Amino acid sequence: MIKSTLCAAVIGLSLTACDSNSNRQVSPPPPAPPVATSPSGVPSSGGIQTSATDEALEQRVTSSLREDTSLAAVVPNITVDANNGTVTLQGSVDSEQQRTDIESKIRSIAGVTQVTNNLKIASASR
| Sign (positive or negative) of CA dihedral 36, 41, 45, 46 | negative
- pLDDT of amino acid 69: 95
| Summary mean pLDDT of the chain | 76
Query: Which residues, at least 6 apart from 83, have a Cβ–Cβ distance to it below 8 Å?
Result: 38, 39, 40, 50, 54
Q: Give the integer Cα–Cα distance in Å for 72 and 50.
A: 25
Phi, psi of 77 (to 5 degrees): -90, 5
User: Of all residues in the chain, what percent carry a pLDDT higher than 70?
Assistant: 58
pLDDT range class, residue 122, cuts 50, 70, 90: confident
Q: If DSSP codes are grouped into helix, strand and coil, which group holds residue 101?
A: helix
Q: 86 pLDDT exceeds 50?
A: yes
pLDDT range class, residue 113, cuts 50, 70, 90: very high
* Domain chopping of the chain, boundaries: 52-121
Fold of the domain built from segment(s) 52-121 = Histidine-containing Protein; Chain: A; (3.30.1340)
Lowest mean pLDDT: which of 27-31, 37-41, 101-105? 37-41
- pLDDT of amino acid 105: 97
Taking only the tens place, the pLDDT of each residue in 15-26 is 454 445 555 565
